[in-house]
Structure 1
Amino acid sequence: MSSLRIVLGVGRTPSGHRGTGRRRAAAALAAVVCASVLAGCGDSGSNESKGGPEKSNDRGPITLASGKDTTGTVQGQLDRWNKQHPDEKVTLVELPESADQQRQQFIQNAQTKSDAYTVLNLDPIWVAEFAANQWIDELPAKEFPLDKMIPAVVKTGNYYGKQYGIPFNTNAGLLFYRTDLLDKIGAKPPTTWAEMKQDCEKVRKLPEGKGIGCYAGQFDKYEGLTVNFSEAVASAGGNVVDAKGKATVDTEAAKKGLQFLVDGFKDGTIPKQAATYQEEDGRRAFQAGKLLFHRQWPYQWTLAGAKDGSSKVAGKFGVATLPGLAGPGRSSLGGLDLAISKFAKNKATALDFIKFFSNEENARTNLKVTSAAPPYAALYDDPALRKQFPYLATLKDSLATATPRPVVVKYGDATAAIQESTSAALSGSKPVDAALADMQRNLSAAIAEK
């Protein structure tokens, strides 16, 4: 059976963790090409390639299935590959903006054993689930320069000692802040939640700080909420899931982390509208000068610094590591890993494409054009890049202490449990203790289910 697959035009904004955004012209790469393609969709009996990609000699056209590229840079990289490989062209298949919806479409594609998606650009936390369900192939680790990448980032693509995902980029949360306003009150970037609140109170007393929102992150009921909750718990000294794989949200640290967020909405530290913020909602608010502090991925650096009139805070902001309960906080580890669908055709081409798409040259380009955090360790110490992106040292520090979200085979159930209870606490419909008790029970059940 075949079905019509539409390849959408590419817009602009984050790579690494998912976001939304309006379409814009890319700053330094070729313009986006919009097209419609007819992609075959078959069952495993007739279309599934035999064995993994290292055993396949099948070559020909493939697809790259990925979340919305709001940076406008991916098509330019595909064009370079396609020019050199006219018989093995890669077509971009853009999935919805929401990470949860992307995951759903990836799973639907796998469960129907469709060959419509060849290379998958996955949130690293999905790799274990997809590998356990045999929806993606093991990759030949020795054929990739994994020794040049940050070990913790490489580990995101590993499942039971085998490599199923190759890092395309990585990500760690940063605290974006208004340098002009903090300078006015003689303050440095806060390292604790209490300092952040104090700074906000002082700024709001300034004529230029009147009515400004203090702090925002990603608090809509989607994957970003799991990220922000996990960071709050880690930044209070706890873990959502411990080293033995046991749910540990029935702890004092978890309570303090969630209480920080709940109190923020109650006392106005976090604007009420931030309850529906995903990445792009907060970015637009920060760029419009409506926020003093913003928890965000590195991609915001380039967009907030644009001097084309789209950002009111260009030249007026800096970045720091996230604040925590008693000192610097800890970010969740984000990013994107490239994998090959178990049910794809032309896996030999797919393997070579991943080698190209994930190489250091492309990682350097992505950093320069979109501020995407590279997986290659050496790029963080490159003098020229540090001059262009002063936040690289801070990002390196954030990555060094970043923690993965719960590595759970039934990750969909796990993240749903976290989102449901966190959302209930933030909205005030459930007390913090009750929300965490429910989360502990439901998260434990998700972990126990195999």
Structure 2
Amino acid sequence: MKTILALLGMAIITFSLSGCISKQKVTENANVEVITMLKPKGMSGIEQIVDKYEKMHNNVIIKIVEITDDTNEVYKTYTATLDRKDSDIDIYLIDEIWTEEFAKSGYLEPLGLELSGEKYEPKAIEMFTSEDTVYALPFAFDIGILFYRKDRVDKAPIHWGDVINGNPQPIFTMKEDEDLLCESIELGRYLKAAYPYFVEQGKDGCDNLKNRFKKGDINYYRGWSKEYAYFDDYDFEIGGNVGVMIPDMPVLGGYGFAISGFSENKKTARDFLAYMSDNRNIREMMKIERYIPVQKEFLTDKMFVDYNPCMREIENTIKRAVIRNSNDQYIKKAWALQKEIYTAICENKEPPEFKEIYIKEN
């Protein structure tokens, strides 16, 4: 992949080459079609669906290339490949906030699959729609939440006031990125009071707040619902002791699979996504990885609550959640806002006003 290698040389981002997955050796056989998917490494579980698809389609290989989980860096990498009209990448796992920008830039192919409002939560479809055209197959919701240790916290927190209580401890990473913006939205009126709970990137083990929480060094960690499976690990003391607090105004994100507008394998890529959309193929993966599903059938299935406590009253959570604007000006404004918030925390200043301008509420 010429462009990917060029990106590596330009040091835009470091790819985890060990994450390139191919069950079969790619040969010069002209009858073998290779579909390449680019995705953040934290979104796992897709491999089992790929395995099933490849067994049914001997002439198709799905290659997965994994990159960093850092949202800003993923965005830079995606736009770098798409700006170059890279035909080597067929499918991108995208964040919902990029949908409109990517669609209007001609980066994405219309999905071309019928998505029923009876099957999918409507907000999942809306997230990946631009000018009445759907551009990605909704895959999973993601909700900003507070994780805490049930075995160490005397009283389960109900709202931020139970945690932001004058006893500063590491909870948030102070870094100019999308998470900082989401955390600020969730904290609302508690944002300034929460300044002492932010730890600057690179200091006091902040690079590993997630790992520190898992190992038991800290009792709280603000993260995303998709991380629950990572924490509920019975090889560690934390297994079975992971509590979650969903903020009063949580940020609702989403991930979807989009076909590149520059792919030379659009038909096969679309066929694979149609296969992936079958609930029979995705059910087991959702249970194992514990993502928040976008399918109504799973959202109302009480069994899924056993796999992820974020699923409790999930329909009410989705209704009250905040969805970030995805207009084509969002990214530019968001990056500037991240810097403003970061500066306000560093200098202990009043946070900027932004909710009415940059986000929309359901």
**Could you tell me the TM-score, scaled by structure 1's length?**
0.68
CA 1:128–1:276: 2 relative to 1, 3 Å: farther
Q: What secondary structure, in the 3-state scheme, does the structure 2 residue paired with 1:272 have?
A: strand
1:123 to 75, 95, 98: 95
Identity of aligned residues (%): 20
Q: Are the equivalent residues in 2 in contact too, given 1:33–1:75 (CA < 8 A)?
A: no
Greater percentage in strand: 2
* Residue 19 (structure 2) pairs with residue 10 (structure 1): yes
Post-superposition shift, 1:272?
A: 2.8
Q: Are the equivalent residues in 2 in contact too, given 1:171–1:334 (CA < 8 A)?
A: yes
1:305 to 226, 232, 243: 232
Question: Paired residue for 2:317?
Answer: 398
Question: Paired residue for 2:41?
Answer: 68
Cα deviations by residue, 1:4-41 (Å, 9 ceiling, x for unpaired) = 75882239xxxxxxxxxxxxxxxxxxxx65899799xx
Distance 2:173 2:341 in 1: 12
Cα deviations by residue, 1:108-132 (Å, 9 ceiling, x for unpaired) = 2222212011111101100000011
* Residue 182 (structure 2) pairs with residue 263 (structure 1): no
Question: Paired residue for 1:290?
Answer: 217
Question: Paired residue for 2:280?
Answer: 361
Aligned positions of 1:154-173 closer than 5 A:
154-173=125-144
Aligned positions of 1:10-409 closer than 5 A:
10=19, 60-69=33-42, 71=44, 73-142=45-114, 144-182=115-153, 184=154, 187-191=155-159, 193-198=160-165, 201=167, 214=169, 216-232=171-187, 236=188, 256=189, 260-266=190-196, 270=197, 272-273=199-200, 281-308=208-235, 311-322=236-247, 329-409=248-328
Q: What secondary structure, in the 3-state scheme, does the structure 2 residue paired with 1:190 have?
A: coil
Q: Which has the larger radius of gyration?
A: 1
CA 1:124–1:141: 2 relative to 1, 3 Å: same
User: Which range moves more in the overlay, 100-109 or 120-129?
Assistant: 100-109
Post-superposition shift, 1:353?
A: 1.0
Cα deviations by residue, 1:223-261 (Å, 9 ceiling, x for unpaired) = 2112222323xxx4xxxxxxxxxxxxxxxxxxx3xxx33
Post-superposition shift, 1:217?
A: 3.5
Distance 2:101 2:205 in 1: 24
Post-superposition shift, 1:155?
A: 0.6
Q: Which amino acid aligns with 2:246?
A: T
Post-superposition shift, 1:170?
A: 1.2
Q: Are the equivalent residues in 1 in contact too, given 2:171–2:221 (CA < 8 A)?
A: yes
Post-superposition shift, 1:280?
A: 8.1
Distance 2:205 2:250 in 1: 17
Post-superposition shift, 1:314?
A: 1.8
Q: Unpaired segments of 5 or more residues in structure 2? A: 6-14
Q: Which amino acid aligns with 1:427?
A: C
Post-superposition shift, 1:188?
A: 3.8
Q: What secondary structure, in the 3-state scheme, does the structure 1 residue paired with 2:109 have?
A: coil
Distance 1:261 1:395 in 2: 25
Cα deviations by residue, 1:289-328 (Å, 9 ceiling, x for unpaired) = 23333222123322222112xx332222322321xxxxxx
Cα deviations by residue, 1:71-96 (Å, 9 ceiling, x for unpaired) = 4x333322221221121221112233
Cα deviations by residue, 1:347-400 (Å, 9 ceiling, x for unpaired) = 111111112223323432232212111111221322333334444214443222
CA 1:107–1:272: 2 relative to 1, 3 Å: closer
Distance 1:423 1:67 in 2: 24
Distance 1:36 1:424 in 2: 50
Distance 2:121 2:104 in 1: 24
Aligned-residue Cα RMSD (Å) equals: 3.4
CA 1:352–1:115: 2 relative to 1, 3 Å: same
Distance 2:111 2:175 in 1: 35
Question: Paired residue for 1:208?
Answer: none
Distance 1:116 1:138 in 2: 18
Distance 1:190 1:4 in 2: 45
Q: Are the equivalent residues in 2 in contact too, given 1:178–1:317 (CA < 8 A)?
A: yes
Q: Which amino acid aligns with 1:290?
A: D
Q: Are the equivalent residues in 2 in contact too, given 1:61–1:88 (CA < 8 A)?
A: yes
Cα deviations by residue, 1:139-174 (Å, 9 ceiling, x for unpaired) = 2242x3453111112110011111112211111122
Distance 1:352 1:279 in 2: 42
Post-superposition shift, 1:425?
A: 0.8
**Could you tell me the TM-score, scaled by structure 2's length?**
0.83
CA 1:282–1:273: 2 relative to 1, 3 Å: same
Cα deviations by residue, 1:254-298 (Å, 9 ceiling, x for unpaired) = xx3xxx3333233xxx15357879998332122122333322212
Q: Are the equivalent residues in 2 in contact too, given 1:320–1:394 (CA < 8 A)?
A: no
Distance 2:321 2:204 in 1: 22
Aligned length: 346
